Chain A
Amino acid sequence: MNIQAYFARHAQTLLGSLGRIVNQPFATLMTMGVVAVALALPLLLSLFLSNMSAATGNWNNAFDLSVYMNKKASAARVATVAKQLRQRGDVATVRVITADQALAEFRDDSGFGKALDALTDNPLPDTLIVTPTLSASTPQGTDTLKQAIAAIADVQAVQLDTEWVKRLHAMLDILRRVVLLTAGLLGAGVVLIVGNTIRLDILNRRTEIEVMKLVGASDGFTRRPFLYSGVWYGLGGGLMALIMVALAAVILAKPVDTLAKLYGSQFRLRGLGFTTAVGVLALAVGLAWLGSWLAATRHIRGIEPT
């Protein structure tokens, strides 16, 4: 068989199997719908996860240390400490927030403006925001840094809020595994659904398969249209899943936007990227192909002319 005829034959089979499943629109849409739901669920979960990661921002910021200076320390002394810290190898940046700036910020943000006017004295200390270098941004690295800073004279307190980061990390880790488990189970579901659909299709076309075998069709040849049906189910289901996820993103965009604004965040809901979408389609086709291959290989072998 020459190459051209080979590809022409495959293209013909591909279109033939498409025609066949299009002829039964209801059954086809049912199968594709089940595939779509099975794919959309883990997709939505993972989308939620990646948005959570994005929303909680750059992890490095979470390792910032807030260094509160003694109230009695002079502005010159604060500048010296800042300079001293900048020279450390494990410090990336140091930002100085003077007591006055801190009060002004607090006045703006808290809504206590008038009440604060009643204060005769600024109760806030000068603060240094110390960002560790990337390599020092570990629980151990920041701990060492924290102890070193605490030992400096005129430093009142060093605060490092890593506990919540650790907890969030742990939770996201669990969620990530839940997503993987769900994806694994539902992926197996896709294989089984498509496999079962193909199995029924094969049983319905038993006579045809017998005739094909009688005139010399190999199992591989007989199997081919069923594999292509599986490919179509996967492609259709994958597209439907992407549409479902896109719809979910549209429905969620507004409330998420509102929530983000309430937190004063610039965060916007992220959808699936083009690469991910293509990946989802490829995975859907792959799983459906596997399902149809398993069913077709097994059941076509069992059908012999009598």
Chain B
Amino acid sequence: MIRFDQVHKRYANGREALAGVSFKIEDGELAFLTGHSGAGKSSILKLIALIERPTRGQVFVNNQNTAAIKPRGIPQFRRSLGVVFQDHKLLHDRPVADNVALPLIIAGVPKREIDKRVRAALDQVGLLGKERNRPLELSTGEQQRVGIARAVVAKPTLLIADEPTGNLDPDLALEIMKLFKRFNEVGVTVVIATHDVHLIEQFGARRIVLGEGRVADPGRPAGALAS
């Protein structure tokens, strides 16, 4: 469960990205955050991943008030969620398998277990057989799928993605979105920030529309603002 409660975010440069945002996303939901660039989509994801902290208001993730998470607790918190970035954020000096294994290595999973789970994750994104390739030997779409495999390999209950299809042509973008949908179908809460309204219309999932740092339309599952 994710809940934003009157969240304001003002950056050091004075820009006010969020001006009183409230919404709620239930466990197992698939939700798209849309809006023009600068509407606050990325800020919301950064607040969820504790990359940023709210200036005012409260952010709850997995029933936990993030304000109570101290810097020392952030690594542990981040291991409970998977994050996908528009620019993939892969490490180019090591093969695909090592990139995907990173969250497991960090969590201290035994080697044999890691190999098994990395293969399973790569299988889920359709990249089995590319384990030993370097990320730059893959296409952009494939690189994005490596990023997704890395985000899901530790079996998080929450998956967030920031413009995951931003650099992809429509066919590839649809493939990636379908991938997210599949993870959602097995129970993972998925939150995707995207400006590609046309693409998400095909999914019929919930859309939270942002505008000028506020929620312009909280989307279908009403009651999100109830609290």
Q: Give the interface of A toward B (CB within 8 A).
A: 1-2, 4-6, 8-9, 207-208, 210-219, 221, 304-306
Q: How far is the CB of B138 from chain A (nearest CB, A)?
A: 17
Which of the residues A5, A6, A216 comes within 8 Å of B106, measured between beta carbons? A216
CA distance A304 to B106 in the complex (A): 17
* Chain B residues positioned under 8 Å from A208 (CB to CB): 91, 93
Q: A208-B91, A306-B51 are in contact. Are A215 and B108 (CB under 8 A)?
A: no
| 5 contacting pairs across A/B (C-beta < 8 A) | A211-B91, A214-B49, A215-B78, A304-B51, A305-B51
Q: A5-B111, A8-B111, A304-B51 are in contact. Are A216 and B79 (CB under 8 A)?
A: yes
* Chain A residues positioned under 8 Å from B106 (CB to CB): 212, 215-218, 221
A23 nearest in chain B by CB position: B93
Q: A304-B51, A306-B51 are in contact. Are A215 and B110 (CB under 8 A)?
A: no
Check B91 against A215 for contact (C-beta < 8 Å).
no
Check B108 against A5 for contact (C-beta < 8 Å).
yes
* Chain B residues positioned under 8 Å from A221 (CB to CB): 75, 106
B76 on interface, CB distance cutoff 8 Å: yes
B107 on interface, CB distance cutoff 8 Å: yes
CA distance A213 to B72 in the complex (A): 12
Chain B 80-94 interface residues, beta-carbon cutoff 8 Å to A: 83, 89-91, 93
CA distance A216 to B89 in the complex (A): 14
B102 on interface, CB distance cutoff 8 Å: yes
CA distance A116 to B128 in the complex (A): 102
Check A215 against B51 for contact (C-beta < 8 Å).
no
Q: How far is the CB of B147 from chain A (nearest CB, A)?
A: 10
B150 on interface, CB distance cutoff 8 Å: yes
CA distance A212 to B99 in the complex (A): 10
B54 on interface, CB distance cutoff 8 Å: no
Check A214 against B111 for contact (C-beta < 8 Å).
no
Q: How far is the CB of A11 from chain B (nearest CB, A)?
A: 11
- Among A208, A212, A305, A306, which residue has the most Cβ atoms of chain B within 10 A? A305
Which of the residues B75, B90, B110, B150 comes within 8 Å of A213, measured between beta carbons? B75
B151 nearest in chain A by CB position: A215
